[in-house]
Structure formats: structure tokens, C-alpha cells
Amino acid sequence: MSPSAAGTAGPLTVYQRMQEALVGDGATLLPAELLAEDVVVETPFSPPGMRRHEGREAWLAFYRARSAVLPVRFEQFRELATHQTHDPEVIVVEYELAGTVTTTGLRASATLIGVLRVRDGLIQHWREYQDILAISAALKLTPQDLGGAGTPAP
């Protein structure tokens, strides 16, 4: 994407580009070309140590490592609602991701809420609240797999 094209994109346009990049062959979450160098990505409901990533390279390294062990192919991105805010750089989005767990063939979906801040056509801040229970159930993860406490799985 050229700098002039990036500079004109607001949060809604960048969010739509995120949607397009997430589904299909070569899918990726938060494509590198949409990220500011100093981007902050937060997933507050994730296990400790996975909740905050500062900087494009830190996020991309984390995402590459997680993608290698997260056997999911996203097949549908269903927008539930998009909320404009008083800040023209920020939108709040509600959506559902559906896909297939490639190791089991199980089809599953999860609902998410994201807060997106875009400046000069680049993502400055992405905070995503994920349905961790739905994700864990689809992947057959236990609390220990997620880095949390709890009783062992039977």
C-alpha cells in the first residue's frame, strides 16, 4: 500500500481491510502493512504474558509463533455491529469469526469486540475482547493450556 493511500484510510476502511485479510488463502490477522511501527495490540482476556504487544515487530513475531500452533482456518467474518465514536480515529466493532480447526475438522465460531484506533491510515492501537471459552472449547484446550489455573482436564 502506498503512503498516500495509507494516509487517507480511516478506521472503517482499515477495519474492512483487516476483514479481507483474515479470511481465505494466506489469511493473516492485522496485516503488517496496516500496522504503525509503534502499534499496541492488546487482548485483555488472554493468558498472562499474551495480553499486550508493543511495536509492529513484537506483534508480528508473536503472531507468527502463535499461528504455528493455532490450527484454525478462518472461513467467515460476520460483522455484527460497527460503532462510531466521538473520536474520528476510533471505532468499536463487534464481529463473529467462524472457521475450521484443521487438526480435527471441527467447525466453530467465536464472538469478539474490538476497539480500533487508526492514525494516518495505520493501526495505532487494537484492543480485542475475545470469547476465550468458545475458542478454548473449539481447540479442546484446558485452563493449563492457556496458562491459567484450574482443575486438570479428565
Which CATH number characterizes residue 66's domain?
3.10.450.50
What tens-digit pLDDT sequence spans the chain (154 residues)? 434 344 578 999 999 998 888 886 667 777 899 999 999 999 999 888 889 999 999 999 988 887 766 778 888 889 999 999 999 999 999 999 888 888 888 888 889 999 999 999 999 999 999 887 877 777 776 555 545 444 333 3
- Asked if residue 27 belongs to a domain, the reply is yes
- Asked if residue 149 belongs to a domain, the reply is no
Q: Where are the alpha helices (DSSP H) in 75-153?
A: 132-139
Per the structure, the complete domain to which residue 49 belongs is given by: 3-139
- Asked if residue 146 belongs to a domain, the reply is no
CA dihedral sign, ordered 133, 71, 15, 36: positive
- Asked if residue 150 belongs to a domain, the reply is no
The total number of structural domains in the chain stands at 1
d(CA 61, CA 68): 11
Residue 36 cell numbers, joined = 504503525
- Asked if residue 144 belongs to a domain, the reply is no
d(CA 88, CA 115): 13
Q: Is the full-model pTM beyond 0.75?
A: yes
How many other CB atoms are there within 10 angstroms of residue 18's CB atom?
Answer: 21
- Asked if residue 50 belongs to a domain, the reply is yes
- Asked if residue 152 belongs to a domain, the reply is no
CA dihedral sign, ordered 47, 145, 59, 62: positive
